[in-house]
Amino acid sequence: MKVLDKDELQVVEEVLFRHLPKSYKVYGFVHAFIRNKPTTLQLVVDSWPDFKVIICRPDPLNKRALDFRKKVTYYSMDEQVLRKMLTEENAVDWSTCFLIGGFDFSHASLLKEVSSDRKVNNRVFTLVHLMYLPDIKNLLAPPVDSELESRISSLNLSHVDLVNKTWKFGGNEQSYRNVKNLIGNFPSCCITDGQGQPVSWILLYDYCAMGLLYTLPEHRGKGYAKVLVSAMAKKLHAEGYPVYCFIEEDNMVSYKLFKSLGFIEDASYRAGWFEFNF
């Protein structure tokens, strides 16, 4: 097992690019690392340079890691190598509560088996569709009049509290720090009201997936979500980011929204989030 340094990430990015869309989440983390985005994670591989498994995990030497929820993700090209890393090589710290997110759900039985052997409890946190836009030319953007276009802007740090309070997984100090990091370091889009205050917005997670799409209840039904997803997709493409998102299986409204804008998926693939040691 090897911990990667920044000079090796370009090679990793090129390998992961060839395995899109299934590698999107780890690819997104690597993309952010290369762009010098702040992170509390480190990357480890089973071997180098011909790796079969790459794992993103909290960096034990990073003191800021405690400020954020402990999360792990990985991309695997060989299930047996993955099993070995999780069991024999201690690639993951099983002693505290953490999430493994955005993994190929076909590995669910393996993760349950490994955690059970360690007497660590586990549960499905969520199951999601992986939606992506491989070509910006396929974006079916809605028409936007000049008045609405003039109200499309970006979030700033004065909006952290608003976003945190309305986020499904927000409302606490840890999520506040997370939202602050996302707004301060990654692209965002919002639509403002007459006073310049955001009424609808979308952010980018630290793994470069679109998320936290939200419209205040009193401003719904105006097509703002479609406008924001389209604007964000164009911005991400122009700035060299991947254009993708995860949508929970029971969120049919968002699923239909992204489908209507030209996003596609591999219908045979599902990504999952598992929680351990909860």
DSSP state, residue 202: E
Number of CB atoms found within 10 A of residue 17's CB: 14
Write out pLDDT tens, residues 187-197.
999 999 999 99
- Decide: 59 and 65 in contact? Cβ < 8 Å: yes
pLDDT for 63 equals 83
Q: Are residues 80 and 162 in the same domain?
A: no
Q: Are residues 225 and 157 in the same domain?
A: yes
User: Which residues, listed in sequence order, are joined to residue 54 by a DSSP beta bridge?
Assistant: 45, 75
Residue 80 has pLDDT above 90, yes or no: yes
Q: Are residues 118 and 56 in the same domain?
A: yes
Q: Are residues 161 and 97 in the same domain?
A: no
Burial (Cβ within 10 Å: 0-12, 13-18, ≥19) of residue 237: middle
Q: Are strands 71-76 and 98-104 parallel, antiparallel or unpaired?
A: parallel
For the segment 48-54, the average pLDDT, to the nearest whole number, is 97
77 domain-assigned: yes
Alpha-carbon span 268 to 72, nearest angstrom: 23
Residue 49 has pLDDT above 80, yes or no: yes
Q: Are residues 91 and 157 in the same domain?
A: no
pLDDT for 149 equals 97
For the segment 229-251, the average pLDDT, to the nearest whole number, is 97
Q: Are residues 145 and 125 in the same domain?
A: no
Q: Are residues 57 and 115 in the same domain?
A: yes
Residue 66 has pLDDT above 80, yes or no: no
Number of structural domains found in the chain = 2
Q: Are residues 119 and 144 in the same domain?
A: no
249 domain-assigned: no
Q: Are residues 151 and 111 in the same domain?
A: no
Alpha-carbon span 109 to 120, nearest angstrom: 14
Give residue 225's Cα distance to chain centre: 19
262 domain-assigned: no
Write out pLDDT tens, residues 199-235.
999 999 999 999 999 999 999 999 999 999 999 999 9
- Decide: 128 and 273 in contact? Cβ < 8 Å: yes
Percent of the chain with pLDDT over 90: 95
Alpha-carbon span 247 to 187, nearest angstrom: 19
For the segment 5-24, the average pLDDT, to the nearest whole number, is 96
CATH number at residue 19: 3.40.630
Write out pLDDT tens, residues 129-165.
999 999 999 999 999 999 999 999 999 999 999 999 9
Alpha-carbon span 189 to 243, nearest angstrom: 14
Confidence of residue 53 (pLDDT cuts 50, 70, 90): very high
Confidence of residue 90 (pLDDT cuts 50, 70, 90): confident
Alpha-carbon span 39 to 64, nearest angstrom: 9
Query: What global pTM score does this model have?
Result: 0.95
Q: How many helices (H) and strands (E) does the chain have?
A: 9, 12
For the segment 104-121, the average pLDDT, to the nearest whole number, is 96
Average pLDDT, the chain: 96
Write out pLDDT tens, residues 20-29.
999 999 999 9
Q: Are residues 105 and 68 in the same domain?
A: yes
Q: Are residues 63 and 152 in the same domain?
A: no
CATH number at residue 186: 3.40.630.30
Q: Residue 277, by phi and psi: left (phi above 0), alpha (psi -120 to 50) or beta?
A: left
Residue 67 has pLDDT above 80, yes or no: no
178 domain-assigned: yes
pLDDT for 89 equals 87
pLDDT for 111 equals 97
Alpha-carbon span 136 to 230, nearest angstrom: 10
Q: Which domain holds residue 107?
A: 2-129+270-276
